[in-house]
């Protein structure tokens, strides 16, 4: 140990307060490094929604949808898959990653480091949002250049919908990770819940408002999020889907409260 070592708590605190934001940046860098150094995982995570969109767009994209004012189906699919991409990154992938890391002890290892909780979790969440953002860009590019989809005039409404959805589904991913005790269950449980709600939410087949199915799926955030992202893409309606955004946000806040209450750093296998 050298004599220059910082030993005074106040002095060490000063060192940290200056560089906390840089620490978040560093953590995000290593999160991304870890993500991209596993290229198969990265390509599947990002590519799944893109491949899905291309297949659906090529097979059914040019048919017209009566219940949505006779627009082309692809004009609905692009925002639908943008919503899907955000949900799969922030909800499905994040939840599985959190369960795996908790059970492998990675979260506990980080918790025992001097980093504050908000740096640790903030970096994981922001890194997830970055992956979601990359997916959104790729999907928009595919929509625009492969299918000539008309992108929203009101960028603000689109971005707000993505931000509200991204944050809410991040909270939902964190919340559901706390109730899944082991990594073997994480993938199947989360994916089944997700795909059932996606189907009921009308990702593949637009569902008419007011129908029994629509009323049922209105209790869950997925349909509302798809509608909120679709609104700015819908030439015949207001780009702001306030009601849908509000429901998504309520789910997000509730999930955040639940996640904070239940969050566990140590593996369940220990006790």
Partner 1 sequence: MRQNAGPAVSVKNLRKSYGSLAAVADVSFEVEPGEVFALLGPNGAGKTTTIEILEGFRSRDAGVVEVLGVDPDNRRTQRWLRSQMGIVLQELAVEPFLSVRQVLTRSAGFYPHPRPVNEVLDMVGLREKADARVKTLSGGQQRRLDVGLGIIGQPELLFLDEPTTGLDPSARRATWDLIRQLGGEGTTVLLTSHYMDEVEALAGRVVVLASGQIVASGTPDSIGGRDTGVATIRFRLPDGVSAADLPVAGQPAQGGEIEIRTEDEIAVLHTLTGWALDRHVSLPGLTVRRVTLEDVYLQLTRDPDEPSRARQEQLR
- What is the binding site for partner 1 (CB under 8 A)? 1-2, 4-9, 12-13, 15-16, 23, 26-27, 30, 33-34, 37-38, 101, 104-106, 108-109, 111-116, 265-266, 271
Classify residue 45 by burial, with Cβ atoms within 10 Å: 0-12, 13-18, 19+: buried
CA atoms of 22 and 83, how far apart (whole Å): 30
**CB nearer to partner 1: pick between 66 and 271:** 271
CA atoms of 103 and 258, how far apart (whole Å): 20
Name the DSSP letter for residue 61. Answer: T
C-alpha distances in Å from residue 238, one per residue of 79, 153, 202, 227: 15, 11, 20, 11
Classify residue 198 by burial, with Cβ atoms within 10 Å: 0-12, 13-18, 19+: buried
Specify the length of the chain in residues: 271
Minimum CB–partner distance for residue 172 and partner 1 (Å): 24
**CB nearer to partner 1: pick between 10 and 63:** 10
- Measured between its terminal Cα atoms, the distance across the chain in Å is 37
Token digits of residue 78: 């692009």
Minimum CB–partner distance for residue 88 and partner 1 (Å): 20
Minimum CB–partner distance for residue 190 and partner 1 (Å): 21
Minimum CB–partner distance for residue 271 and partner 1 (Å): 7
Token digits of residue 10: 């106040």
**CB nearer to partner 1: pick between 182 and 238:** 182
**CB nearer to partner 1: pick between 23 and 160:** 23
**CB nearer to partner 1: pick between 37 and 236:** 37
151 Cβ contact list (under 8 Å, min separation 6): 140, 143, 144, 233
CA atoms of 149 and 163, how far apart (whole Å): 22
**CB nearer to partner 1: pick between 26 and 258:** 26
Minimum CB–partner distance for residue 99 and partner 1 (Å): 13
Minimum CB–partner distance for residue 147 and partner 1 (Å): 34
Name the DSSP letter for residue 209. Answer: T
**CB nearer to partner 1: pick between 12 and 215:** 12
Contact predicate 268/182, CB 8 Å: yes
Minimum CB–partner distance for residue 34 and partner 1 (Å): 5
Contact predicate 86/174, CB 8 Å: no
């Amino acid at each position: 140990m050298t004599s220059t070592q910082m030993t005074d708590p106040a002095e060490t605190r000063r060192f940290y307060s200056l560089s906390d934001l840089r620490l978040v940046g560093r953590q995000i860098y290593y999160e991304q490094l870890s993500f991209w150094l596993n290229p198969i995982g990265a390509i599947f995570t990002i590519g799944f929604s893109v491949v899905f969109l291309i297949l659906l767009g090529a097979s059914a994209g040019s048919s017209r949808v009566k219940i949505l004012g006779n627009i082309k189906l692809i004009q609905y699919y692009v925002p639908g898959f943008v919503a899907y991409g955000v949900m799969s990154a922030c909800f499905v992938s994040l939840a599985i990653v959190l369960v795996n890391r908790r059970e492998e002890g990675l979260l506990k290892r980080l918790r025992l480091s001097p980093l504050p909780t908000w740096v640790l979790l903030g970096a994981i969440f922001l890194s997830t949002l970055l992956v979601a953002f990359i997916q959104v860009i790729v999907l928009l590019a595919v929509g625009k250049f492969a299918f000539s989809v008309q992108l929203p005039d009101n960028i603000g409404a689109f971005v707000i919908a993505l931000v509200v959805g991204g944050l809410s589904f991040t909270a939902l991913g964190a919340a559901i990770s706390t109730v899944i005790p082991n990594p073997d269950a994480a993938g199947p449980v989360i994916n089944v819940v997700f795909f059932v709600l996606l189907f009921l939410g009308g990702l593949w087949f637009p569902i008419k408002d007011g129908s029994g199915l629509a009323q049922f799926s209105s209790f869950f955030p997925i349909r509302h999020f798809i509608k909120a992202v679709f609104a700015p893409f819908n030439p015949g309606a207001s780009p702001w889907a306030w009601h849908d955004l509000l429901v998504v946000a309520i789910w997000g806040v509730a999930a955040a409260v639940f996640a904070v209450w239940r969050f566990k750093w140590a593996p369940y296998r220990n006790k």
